[in-house]
Structures are given as C-alpha cells and as structure tokens.
Amino acid sequence: MRAVVRSVIHRATVSAADASLDEGVVIDPYVMNAAAIAEYERVEVIGAASGNRFSSFIIGGRKGSGDVRVHGSGAHFVLKGEKIIIIAYAFPHEGQLIDHKPKLVYVDEDNQVITLREGV
C-alpha cells in the first residue's frame, strides 16, 4: 500500500507553541471535521516559511476557538503566529487510488474555515 495525502489544512496560524506541555497539536474541532481528521490521528506539520517538519497527533480543542496550539517537542519547530500546513495521510488499496482526491481546507488568519476543495 502507498501513503497518499488524505487531508490538508493550509496556512493555519499557530496560536500558541509551548514545549513544556504534553505532545500534540490542539485544533478547533470545526477545522478537524472540515478536514476529516480524527482526534489522536497522526499528522505531519510543516512550517510554511521555514520548511521545518515534524510528526505529531491531533487533539480536539474548544469548538469555534480557532485554536492551533502546538505542544511538546513540536513547539521547537514552529513559533506563535507562524503559518503551518497540517497533512494527514491514508493507505488506500490500489483500486481506491483511481478516484482518490485529498480534502483541502483553507483557513483565514483566525483559523476559521473559508474554503473547502477536493483534489489539487
């Protein structure tokens, strides 16, 4: 099986980064639902400007909060106010690849969903 991009949250703004807290990336559940990312799902996080990358997992935050808080070791790779890209992957069977299109979620400066698309 191949790893393919399943969901992408584009240009989310880090609202807090704290290395002293337990691991995880806390995200507003409305954004999680738009991207079809489940709580505790593994994701890759990329600093849009720096290119820094790390793996973590998602934790549901407060609904409507716009939170994108990076906790634990990931906070060494991104700063508060930085734009990040959050990617979730899938491992579909070969037959499922034909129709596969990733969910693309675009958010504004306050991490509120502004556009949803499928495919690149």
Pairing of strands 53-60, 4-13: unpaired
88 pLDDT band, cuts 50/70/90, is very high
Which of residues 4 and 1 earns the better pLDDT score?
A: 4
Residue 100 has pLDDT above 80, yes or no: yes
What SS3 class is residue 48?
coil
Count Cβ atoms within 10 A of the Cβ of residue 56 and give its class: 0-12 exposed, 13-18 middle, 19 or more buried: buried
Give percent above pLDDT 70 in the chain: 100
Model confidence over 5-27: pLDDT tens digits? 999 999 999 999 999 999 999 99
Phi, psi of 22 (to 5 degrees): -60, 155
Domain-by-domain residue ranges, the chain? 4-118
pLDDT band at 47 (very low <50, low <70, confident <90, very high): very high
**Fold classified for 4-118:** Barwin-like endoglucanases (2.40.40)
Closest among 38, 61, 72, 76 to 111, alpha carbons compared: 61
Query: Taking the model in full, what pTM does it have?
Result: 0.94
